[in-house]
Structure 1
Amino acid sequence: MDGFLNIHKPAGMTSHDVVARVRRSLKTKRVGHAGTLDPDATGVLVVAVGQATRLLPHVPLEPKVYLATIGFGTATDTEDASGQVTAQADASGLTPEALRAVLPRFVGEIQQVPPMVSALHHNGQRLYDLARQGITVEREARTITIHALELVAPPLLGAGGIIRVTCGGGTYIRTLCKDIGEALGLPAHMATLVREAVGPYALAEAIGLDEITEERLLPMQEALGWPTLRVSAHEAAELKLGRVIEGSTSGGECAALYQEGLVALVRWENGHWQPFKVFS
């Protein structure tokens, strides 16, 4: 039972809750997810089952696409709707034109200060654990990449502007919403968040929690998206022992397949295919 699931995470559940649900549904313990979604957020959560957990560092998980509602006129200590209000202002004068004018500032490689509610470490502790204790520490700005930023629905009397963000990993949408507000001279927070895509995994193809079955698992090699190398039974046995095999082609890395099963990840070295990750 090895493969990937594209799950539509509902609101009110943590990513770990979804993993626990998969474990119960498939009666297996070896389950992991790729990219946390906050409890209030919904959308695509990629879950790996069985040996697929070992492929998580290799599967394409970017770009990510989010649909976010910005709540203008109110800032919170968590930068989203679940936090305590820290500032308020009248945003009724905000126009769609003003919002569109600032969005280009946030496209490309930009600097972003991670929020205190992030899972990053500071002196051995998670930032969100420090935040729960009422502790705020200095965080260094990091470079993130916003590939595209689109105004989907303009704010109505200053509230509820909806944006679609296509971005690289490590981007905090809540902080982006706050920063857009600051660029407009307004307090702001992320009111809602939907993750529409993670790499090739789209929300339109995601399954609900009641649809989790072994039959819905996506094959490991399909999710990997690498070039494939078809091997014989003898070559598969050699690879599983960590031995090199001969090859008529050269260069790069491949997923070695015997029949329809993934045997190993291999790379071309010194005129041979060398396995660097082997699967039973």
Structure 2
Amino acid sequence: MGRRRKGRAVSGILILDKPLERSSNSAMIVARAIYKAAKAGHTGALDPLASGVLPICFGEATKFSQYLLDADKVYRCSVVFGERRSTGDAEGEVIAECDTSALCAADIEAALPAFRGDILQVPPMHSALKRDGKPLYELARRGLEVEREARPVRISRFDMESFAPGPRAEASFLVHCSKGTYIRSLAEDLGAALGVGAYVSALRRLQAGPFVESQALNFDDLQPLRDREAFAELDALLLPVDSALGHLPAAELGAAAADFLRQGQPVFVPRLPSGERFRLYGPGDTAAEFIGVGELLDDGRLAPRRLLANM
């Protein structure tokens, strides 16, 4: 018999504004403690030197965190040209320098189209990707560098918002990208294309999947409620579990079909919208109740894939 988890059986999604100088895992642990939640997980790591939107899933919402891990992200980043750094960001040591006084905004604008669309990107050594079971950043800290295979990513937007010329020119960019994109690598590759080198001096995530900066709460918003043990008020700040799944079409089920699905049995559902995966809703006391995610089989039946626990 499994050990019972300590904490509250709270379910939902907290949109956290992750502070600087804190890892995503550390931020998740603090959020879990504030909510006194039995189960929690984050949905895609942000570097300690990055801030911004970090969805935290509690309870049953953790079953659907993969949809947020797979979602597109939007960032605002500041880039300094004329320096290469060992980590690709402000934390690293300077490994090369040059004067960028001749660099102008038009040069950067001319280089950007090559980095938009479907591109191949080599992950940085200072990343959590693993080689033989060890994170690459551990090897990098020992002064080792290993070959990394380029991976496909999609850059939907890479737009320059501002430019400040000088010996160390600086620019701000808005980046909309697919999962697995490294903004540090994007900046370094842009600097290499311009022949001057570059690193990320500041990074903020503005959006993760459907969740945006204006929804994000910081620890200063949450801690006073925890100090008063105002758990009902804290819970009211959570978004519903299905808020991460708005990109999936909805399938509304009758009581019998919902019961069969909960038992793991595929069912025929008339008048399904087009799609392969669906948000599933069954009859509730006052409105349709989210019960999980289903997948359309080749024979036209809808099969359960991820279901909420019966509570």
Q: Shorter-chain TM-score category?
A: over 0.9
Q: Residues 226-241 of structure 1 correspond to what in structure 2 (within 5 A)?
A: 226-241=248-263
For 2:266 and 2:106, locate their aligned partners in 1 and report how far apart those are by CA, in whole Å: 61
2:273 corresponds to 1:255: no
Tell me the residue number matched to 1:109: 118
Tell me the residue number matched to 1:203: 213
Partner of residue 184 from structure 2, selected from 163, 174, 183: 174
Q: Residues 134-213 of structure 1 correspond to what in structure 2 (within 5 A)?
A: 134-157=143-166, 158-212=168-222, 213=234
Moved more, 155-164 or 258-267: 258-267
TM-score, normalised via structure 1 length: 0.92
Structure scoring higher RCO (CA < 8 A, sep ≥ 6) equals: 1
Segments of 5+ residues of structure 1 without an aligned counterpart are none
Moved more, 87-96 or 227-236: 227-236
Tell me the residue number matched to 2:306: 277
Q: Give 1:104 deviation, angstroms.
A: 1.3
Tell me the residue number matched to 1:35: 44
1:66 is paired with a residue whose SS is strand
Q: Give 1:234 deviation, angstroms.
A: 4.4
For 1:271 and 1:80, locate their aligned partners in 2 and report how far apart those are by CA, in whole Å: 50
Q: Give 1:44 deviation, angstroms.
A: 0.9
For 1:271 and 1:123, locate their aligned partners in 2 and report how far apart those are by CA, in whole Å: 42
Residue-pair matches, total: 280
For 1:73 and 1:159, locate their aligned partners in 2 and report how far apart those are by CA, in whole Å: 7
8 Å Cα contact 1:60/1:200 also seen in 2:
no
The percentage of aligned residue pairs carrying the same residue is 34
For 2:86 and 2:68, locate their aligned partners in 1 and report how far apart those are by CA, in whole Å: 34
Tell me the residue number matched to 1:222: 243
Moved more, 44-53 or 257-266: 257-266
Q: Give 1:192 deviation, angstroms.
A: 0.6
8 Å Cα contact 2:296/2:302 also seen in 1:
yes
1:32 is paired with a residue whose SS is strand
Q: Residues 19-168 of structure 1 correspond to what in structure 2 (within 5 A)?
A: 19-59=28-68, 62-157=71-166, 158-168=168-178
Tell me the residue number matched to 2:294: 266
For 1:238 and 1:98, locate their aligned partners in 2 and report how far apart those are by CA, in whole Å: 61
For 1:254 and 1:206, locate their aligned partners in 2 and report how far apart those are by CA, in whole Å: 27
Q: Give 1:159 deviation, angstroms.
A: 2.3
2:103 is paired with a residue whose SS is coil
Structure 1 residues 207 and 96: alpha-carbon distance in aligned structure 2, compared to 1, 3 A threshold = same
For 2:97 and 2:55, locate their aligned partners in 1 and report how far apart those are by CA, in whole Å: 36
2:99 is paired with a residue whose SS is coil
Structure 1 residues 8 and 61: alpha-carbon distance in aligned structure 2, compared to 1, 3 A threshold = farther
Partner of residue 13 from structure 2, selected from 4, 19, 26: 4
Structure 1 residues 42 and 146: alpha-carbon distance in aligned structure 2, compared to 1, 3 A threshold = same
For 1:211 and 1:236, locate their aligned partners in 2 and report how far apart those are by CA, in whole Å: 38
For 2:271 and 2:244, locate their aligned partners in 1 and report how far apart those are by CA, in whole Å: 23
Segments of 5+ residues of structure 2 without an aligned counterpart are 1-9, 223-233
TM-score, normalised via structure 2 length: 0.84
2:258 is paired with a residue whose SS is helix
Q: Give 1:271 deviation, angstroms.
A: 4.6
Q: Give 1:233 deviation, angstroms.
A: 4.4
